[in-house]
Amino acid sequence: TLLLKVPVLGGLIQRSAISRFTITFSTLLKSGLPALDSLNIVGKVVNNSLMSLTIKQIADRIVEGADISTPLKKSKMFPPMVGYMIAVGEQSGELEEVLDRISETYEEEIDLSVQKLTAMVEPIIIVFLAVVVGFIIMAVLLPLLKFNNL
């Protein structure tokens, strides 16, 4: 939960968890499992404690008679767009396909974010290594120069 608050990393972790949730949920629904059973399984499979808790709350609300999208929209773990897309999937009867599309979209976003992050980190690592190499060179050369002056 602390990692979710880190500026760049938090968004990446959240998008990854949403992608994992949607693809797993879709796969379970396609295999014929009821939505409630699928949610309970997904809640145990997702390796994010906050996401797991949110899924459990959504499952509890479904037991009370709510549809999938309403508690999902109200949760802070899922962006509103995901809730609206799932609502459309529920109403059209194509929930599995919508979940697959959500997963694909988030996977693409994750790939782009990782590429951007790599592009940002690369120059920082190069500068850091240059400073380390410069320090090592100075540590070797300064004693030699002082020895020459004697």
CA distance 70 to 62: 9
Residue 14 has pLDDT above 90, yes or no: no
Report yes or no on whether pTM surpasses 0.85: no
Over residues 30-76, the pLDDT tens digits come to 999 999 999 999 998 888 888 899 999 999 999 998 899 989 888 88
Domains in the chain (CATH in brackets) are 3-117 (1.20.81.30)
Residue 68 in contact with residue 83, Cβ under 8 Å? no
Tokens 């693809």 found at? 23
Residue 112 in contact with residue 94, Cβ under 8 Å? no
CA distance 108 to 27: 19
Over residues 114-150, the pLDDT tens digits come to 998 889 899 999 999 999 999 999 999 888 888 777 6
